[in-house]
């Protein structure tokens, strides 16, 4: 369930590596039984929606369970009312269906924000300049995270 202004934009994604940006007004339904907002590929699950503040300077950061991270401009993702979306990070479909590899987390990092990566009891803080190493085109594999942080439990965006 989501709440906010009608103009609020959110990043909708699945662990198959697909996602898109949607307005909350497009996700609103008058039906009691709900509305299908995101198409889920076979063998995957929906990730929690992530709110966007600034679409122009924001970076979408995606992390796979194998310790790969990719960062790209949020403007590269389409704004859709519903559907599957575009590929955020490349995960081979055979590895996804066998549940060997999937996207564990996705977040949107603003201009003055930092990314906090949690791995077990440890955490690693990446400033905006540190994310340049992981910057690439949407739909690529991404670069490996440092040793000790390749098994990512969760990521957070901090000020």
Residue-wise pLDDT tens for the chain (159 aa)?
A: 678 888 889 999 999 999 999 998 888 777 777 677 888 888 789 999 998 887 678 999 999 999 999 999 999 998 998 889 999 999 888 888 889 999 999 999 998 899 999 999 999 999 999 999 999 999 999 999 999 888 999 999 998
**How far does the chain reach from its first CA to its final CA, in angstroms?**
25
- Quote the pLDDT of residue 36: 79
**3-state SS assignment for residue 84:** coil
CA distance 72 to 70: 7
**64-81 b/e with 16+ CB inside 10 Å = b?**
bbbbbbbbbebeebeebe
Contacts 24+ apart (CB under 8 A), 98-103: 99/43, 101/64, 101/65, 101/66, 102/15, 102/16, 102/17, 102/44, 102/64, 102/65, 103/13, 103/14, 103/15, 103/16, 103/17, 103/47, 103/62, 103/63, 103/64, 103/65
Domains of the chain: 9-158 (2.120.10.90)
CA distance 116 to 125: 5
- Quote the pLDDT of residue 25: 85
């Amino acid at each position: 369930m989501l709440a906010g202004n009608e103009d609020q934009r959110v990043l909708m994604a699945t662990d198959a590596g697909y996602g898109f940006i949607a307005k909350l007004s497009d996700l609103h339904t008058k039906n009691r039984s709900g509305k299908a907002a995101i198409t889920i590929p076979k063998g995957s699950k929906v990730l929690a929606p992530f709110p966007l503040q600034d679409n122009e300077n924001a970076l979408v950061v995606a992390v796979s369970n194998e310790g790969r991270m990719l960062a790209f401009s949020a403007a590269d993702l389409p704004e859709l009312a519903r559907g599957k979306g575009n590929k955020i990070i490349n995960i081979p479909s055979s590895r996804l269906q066998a549940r060997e590899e999937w996207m564990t987390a996705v977040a949107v990092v603003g201009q003055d924000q930092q990314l906090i990566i949690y791995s077990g009891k440890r955490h690693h803080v990446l400033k905006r300049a540190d994310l340049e190493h992981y910057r690439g085109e949407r739909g690529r594999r991404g670069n490996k995270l440092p040793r000790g942080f390749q098994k990512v439990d969760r990521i957070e965006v901090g000020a």
